[in-house]
Structures are given as structure tokens and as C-alpha cells.
Structure 1
Amino acid sequence: MAVRLLSHELSDLCLGKPALRSLSVTSTIAEALEVLKTSDDNFVSVWSCDHKAKTSSGFESAAGFCDNYDDDDCRCVGKVCMVDVICYLCKDENLVSPSVALKEPVSVLLPKIPGLVLHVEPSCSLLKAIDLILEGAQNLVVPIKTKLSNKRKQHQKPSPTVTVHKGREFCWLTQEDVIRFLLSSIGLFSPVPTFSIDTLGIISSEILTIEYHSPASAAIGAISRTLVDQTSVAVVDSEGCLIGEISPFTLACCDETVAAAVKTLSSGDLMAYIDCGGPPEDLVRVVSSRLKERNLNGMLEHFSMSMSCGGFSSSSSDEESMAASPLPRSGRYSRSMSYSARMVRTAEAIVCHPKSSLVAVMIQAISHRVNYVWVIEDDCRLVGIVTFSDMLKVFREHLETIA
């Protein structure tokens, strides 16, 4: 029965998915910011329609996967989010003049890693999709045909940020979408989902950490890497106990001026800065003061303007908030919860125990909209991390044993 489940086509997972908002690969970073700040999604797709088999950004065509997607004259070549912009602005030369940096094409933000975004046809099987994800794909771009796209084709001009090609719009599927689909039929994989993550051997010790009092700027490279790996940077104390995290998922709900905080604050202060629904006034003053000390007048002006306009987005309703799994810690590290109007995110680390069951960890990650869960011992000592990719490997291996 599990084999029959994974023979489902991706069109089954696309039902109800919204059409992708998109940008041309030649758009500026400033234009990307405008789309990100008005989008319900933390990512925006980047497209090249130059009729080349390889795009100018170095991404190879994904044609050939799952029924040979044939619209090679208009392809999604990647995705960007606020974290890409933040890390880009953290470069010294961009801090000096962020207004100039934001005029660069959005293509400079795309990681030169082939295969992160792949085109597939709706007839592609779920099993093949899992294989593509395990090979490194983060997003699978699937053409969809909706009543809305038909109306646009016949009567309206498409929105400049929605990709419509040959009468079709597109959506994309992520690791989270696949995990949600598997969870809906988790009983078919019994008894594997009841096994502990320790027993299944899916706790990875390959994690990126930074000490609580270390400069947050020391984590810039790690943040970029975790964005690709879809994980996070663990913030630990001197004894290796987990205090919190600097998460790309949280940073994606901020604005670009967080780059100033990353360059001037400690890791612990940065967590507080991004975890309050809006930066605390004392930390705003610290950031401003340190920007002045370093003569970073361009970023100081940009930062001050953003703060005067409200800075971070905040939710309009308490009903949108979601409490994270509580992490025991000393009171001096206690921080308030926060959330974004676009998507619920908190800087509280989501944690589990090595003896937690696979299904429990799946539910934890999905409920908090993250792709991973930290694994800690009772004393908060960090053991490792479990990711959606690790979970998918378990289901894939289970299928091989019953084939």
C-alpha cells in the first residue's frame, strides 16, 4: 500500500497551491525587496526567459526530469529571500553604500549550486520527487492550469510578478509539502514512524554553532550555508548547551536593515533583536551608535529611515501567534516570543529528545513551519539535528525493503 501511495503524481500535491510570484533574472535587488515585502511567501522565484539552455546565472536546465519538461525558453533558475539580501548587505563594501548595492541585478544573490530548483511535470511521481529532493533539490517547479490563468490568457494581462507561460501558471513543491503528504497516510508505513530517531540513526551531528557572546558577524557564512541546507545556526553556551538559534526562517521575516544588527551585535543580542516583533529600543541605539563609530553612514541612513517607518512587520492579531516548544534555560537568556504578519516564526529553538518518535518529530517540525528539529539531552546539551531530508531517507529506505 505504501508503494501505491508513492505512485501518486505531483498534481495531487499541487491542489490548492498558489501560483508562484516571480521576478526576471535581470530585476534589481531593490525590486526583489518590494516583492518580498508584499508577498505571503518568504521566497520569490527568479526566472530566465532568454531561450538559452544554460542561464546567465550558471544554472543548468532541468529538462529531462519526469516526462521531459519542454518549456525551456522560460525557466525558473532559482529563488531568493530576505536572508539572501541581508547576507549580501553584510559585505563591507555594501554596508558603505546599500543604496548602490540594491541596484545590482538579483542574479548576484543566486547561489551557484545547480539543482536547487528543478522543473518537473505534473505527471511526475511522488517517488521520483523524493529521489530528486534527496539528490539536493529544494523546490520542484510544477506547471498548473487554473481558471484564473485561463481568464488572464483570454481577457487580462498577467500580474508582473506572476509567471504565465503558454497558458500555464506555476507552483512549487517543497520538502515540507512532501512530508505533510506522507504524514496524512503515515499508518501505511507502520511500525517505522513509531521508532525513535535515535534507533533510526537519523540524528546528524553535522551542525553549525556559534557561542552566545560571539559577534553575530562571525555567523554570516554559516547563515548562508544553512539557507542552502534548510537548517539553522545553533547558539550555545560555553558548555555546549543550546540557548537558541539564528534561523534563516526568522531572519526571512525581518527587513534588510537587520544586516546592520548582524554586523554590530553579539549572537545573543541578535537573537533578542529579531525575536521581539520589533527590535528593542536599547539595541536599536546600540546598532546606530556602532554604525556611527565605524563611519558606515550609508547603512546608518538606511537603518534610521527603516526604523522611523516601523522596521519589522508585526502581526495584527494574537490569534496568529504560535508558541514554540519551550527550551529550559537560565533566566538571563529568557526572551519573548514574536511572530510575523506573513508567516509565524519565532527565534525559540524547536527541540526534541533522542528517544522522540519519528512521527512526533515530523508533527513538531510541520506545526512550527521549520525543516528541522534540534536534538538535546535533558540538560540541554546539544546532540544534533533531524531534518526533513533525513526523514525522507527513512521512508525511501522502507520502500526498498518491501519492494
Structure 2
Amino acid sequence: MAVRLLSGHEVSDLCLGKPALRSLSLTDTLADALSALKRIDDTFVSVWNCNHSLIRSPDPHQERCKENELDCRCVGRVCMVDIICYLCKPENLSAPAAALRSPISALVSDDSALVRHLEPNASLLEAIDAMHEGAQNLVIPIQSKSSSRRNSVEPFDSIFHNHHRSYCWVTQEDLIRYLLNSIAAFSPTPASPINTLNVIDNQNLFAVNYDEPASAALNLLSLSLIHQSSVAIVDPEGKFVGEISPFMLNSCDEAIAPALATLSAGDLMAYIDCGGPPEDLVQIVKERLEEQNLGAALELLGDEGGLSSWSSFCSSSSEDDACSGKNWKLGGYSARVVRRSEAIVCYPWSSLVAVMIQALAHRVSYVWVVEDDGTLTGIVTFEGMLKVFREHLKSMC
């Protein structure tokens, strides 16, 4: 039944109501990416190996990619975490304005395996296989209004045109949500404890000590983006106390880079916790930047010491939203709820379906696994969940 379910449905079924991708070229700059990320309600902006995002014309019908359709492809994606980690490098903190003029190719290689093109008629089984092989974002053509009425006029910044085609993402979250809605077809696997399903990952478990410099997490943050996970913060006994989450950082902006580069992991949690950074920590960041001859990075903090992004968030959110850690990016299709240090956890005996519901309810792609005493033992990710369902399907063939 499960095999028929996934083989009989096309990946285009997951594209219904999806917004079209916002796109940039490999030749655009990090400043362009930063500006785009602040304007969209999505975690990632797509990066293409052609210059379609640069083509402007008084005639909207001429706003088309001039490259051959087979040569113009999405080769990667950029998120706020990519830019923040790049800015945290000492050479870039010493000259942030110059760093932001770097091309996006500094962050995205032309052979990125994290994105994969699939045709709309590909089966959901093919989509799961692509995810299993390492893809995280599937690029799917969607039919725009102009495909049936070639003379219609649509704003250039609303969709990406490639020979009258627009595109959307299909993500691991989309597949997991679909599988949850059809969970009965996979019985009894979803009701099994996660410690019996080989789904708990303790090999790619990224963690730093509470007292370690937050900068020690920079390389781990880049790896966590690849694995769609996070960086745990633990105490000396290995007990889980919080996280430095890419999903949380994706809802911040470049003002967080100096704090990430200068504070301890524990202080960074307090810096980005609900309510905005404490003034004493802002002052510590400024002093340490000066001590390290990184005074130029003060411009990233803004006139009010990095408080501007939080104050604008608080002024546009309700008091209840602010207390729950919600961010100004809420409201879009892929908006992420930014949590405080109370990260999402489960236990080794939790059922797979319960963990799926936890992750989807909090719009994250992972759940930490802890013991009764709070000791961190692993992490369950969407990638691992998809592997379990794939193995279930193989056993039925």
C-alpha cells in the first residue's frame, strides 16, 4: 500500500500553493543575498549558474533567461547562516563591507549536491531517493499563469522565468509532512520506539561546551546545515543545556556575527534569547572587537549596538509573540519559529511518529535525544526519518 501510495503520486502534488523561488546568480554578491533574505519569507534563496536575476527590461515579456534552458540551472542555495559564518572569519570581520562585496560563489560551489532538479511528474518515491542521496532542496518546475497566457504580465520579482517556467522548492519537511498524513500505510513502523529503528544519529552529533567560545561552533554550524541539524550546548557532565541553531540564526541578521565571534556559547544563548541582547553583553562584544583590532565590525552592530533588529521585531510583534521567541520573519510559507534555549527534545523510547509530530509542530528538521537525567545521546533528523521510511518501502518490494 505504501509503495503504491508513493509511486502513484507525483512530486508536483507537493507544489500546490508553493511560492515561486526567488533567485540570484553566482555572480551576484553576498550583499545581494543579504538583501534578498531580508525581503523574503523563506530560509534560503536559490542560486543559479546563469544571469537571469540580472536581466531587466522595460518590457516584462523580455524578462527571460537568455541562456539555454538546459544550461541554466539552480546550483545551490544561500541562507543567513552562510553569510553570518562567512562574516565571522577574522579577515572578514576586519573589513565587513568588503566581505559583503564578495560573489556568492564564495559560498556556493557550482557542483553543490544539496539541490537537485526533478521534473513535476517524478514520483514521490523518486523524491525520497533523491533526498536519501544527499539532496535537501528539490527544484521543481511549476506552471505559472503566463504558461497558458504567454502575453500576460507578471512582476519580475514575483517569480523566476526560465523559458516561461517558474520553480519552487520541495524540502525534506514537505516529504515528512506528506508521510505523516499517510502514516497508516506504514504501520507498524511509525509506532516503534526510535531506539529500535536505527534512526538516532550519534555520529554526526555536533556539540560545544557551555564555556567554550561560540566561534568554536562555526565549522559545526556549516556541517549542521548540510545535515539539517543543529549545534548542541552541553555542560561539563554532557548534559544538554541548549543549542546554537541554524534555524534560529536564519531569523537573525548580520548584526549577530560580532557576538558569535566574540562571546562564549552560553553568553551567545543569552544574547539572542527572547527580548534582545542584554546591554552588558553588547558592551562586552564591543570591547572584545576593539581588543582584537576588529573595530570595523562595529558597523555590523549598527548605531544602537545591534539592538535595532530586535527593536524592530518587538515593535512589529505582539507581546505574546515576543515572549514565545517568534521573529519578524513569521508569516511566510517557510517561516521558522525561533525558539529560545528550550530546544526540542525527545527520549530513546519515544515513538517515531511522536518525534515527527514534534519536529513538524516546531518547524525544525531535528529533535535532540536525551536520557532521563538530561544527558545528550543523539539527534533524530528528517534525513534519518526518510531513511527509515525508505527501508520500510524496500522491505515491501
User: What pairs with 1:23-102 in structure 2 (closer than 5 Å)?
Assistant: 23-49=24-50, 71-102=69-100
Task: Give the TM-score taking structure 2 as reference length.
Answer: 0.88
Q: Matches of 1:202 and 1:310 in 2, distance apart?
A: 41
**Corresponding residue number in structure 2 for 1:59:** none
User: Which has the higher mean CA deviation after the structures are superposed, 307-316 or 369-378?
Assistant: 307-316
Contact 1:50 1:73 in 2 (8 A): no
- Tell me how far 1:147 sits from its aligned partner: 2.1
Q: Matches of 2:154 and 2:168 in 1, distance apart?
A: 19
Q: Matches of 1:302 and 1:21 in 2, distance apart?
A: 25
Helix, strand or coil for the counterpart of 1:163?
Answer: coil
Q: Matches of 1:169 and 1:270 in 2, distance apart?
A: 40
Establish whether residue 351 from structure 1 lines up as the match of residue 348 from structure 2. Answer: no
The partner residue of 2:116 within 115, 118, 134 is: 118
User: What pairs with 1:219-230 in structure 2 (closer than 5 Å)?
Assistant: 219-230=217-228
Question: Structure 1 residues 104, 198: closer, same or farther in 2, change over 3 A?
Answer: same
Contact 1:275 1:337 in 2 (8 A): no
**Corresponding residue number in structure 2 for 1:2:** 2
Q: Matches of 1:345 and 1:379 in 2, distance apart?
A: 26
Q: Matches of 1:309 and 1:215 in 2, distance apart?
A: 22
- Tell me how far 1:320 sits from its aligned partner: 8.0
Establish whether residue 341 from structure 1 lines up as the match of residue 341 from structure 2. Answer: no
The partner residue of 1:183 within 180, 185, 188 is: 180
Helix, strand or coil for the counterpart of 2:169?
Answer: strand
The partner residue of 1:377 within 371, 374, 385 is: 371
Contact 2:256 2:306 in 1 (8 A): no
Question: Structure 1 residues 339, 284: closer, same or farther in 2, change over 3 A?
Answer: same
Unaligned runs of 5+ in 1: 52-69, 323-335
Question: Structure 1 residues 247, 12: closer, same or farther in 2, change over 3 A?
Answer: same
- Superposed CA deviations along residues 25-80 of structure 1, whole A, max 9, x for unmatched, are 111111111110111012100112279xxxxxxxxxxxxxxxxxx93222111100
Helix, strand or coil for the counterpart of 2:308?
Answer: coil
Q: Matches of 1:308 and 1:224 in 2, distance apart?
A: 23
Identity level (%): 57
Helix, strand or coil for the counterpart of 2:122?
Answer: coil
Task: Give the TM-score taking structure 1 as reference length.
Answer: 0.87
- Given residue 180 of structure 1, which amino acid in structure 2 is its aligned partner? R
**Corresponding residue number in structure 1 for 2:302:** 304
User: What pairs with 1:96-245 in structure 2 (closer than 5 Å)?
Assistant: 96-110=94-108, 114-147=112-145, 153-156=150-153, 158-160=155-157, 162-206=159-203, 207-245=205-243
- Superposed CA deviations along residues 212-236 of structure 1, whole A, max 9, x for unmatched, are 0111111111111111111111100
**Corresponding residue number in structure 2 for 1:314:** 313
Corresponding residue pairs, total: 371
Q: Matches of 2:72 and 2:304 in 1, distance apart?
A: 36
CA RMSD of the aligned region, Å?
2.1
Contact 2:145 2:152 in 1 (8 A): no
Unaligned runs of 5+ in 2: 53-67, 330-335
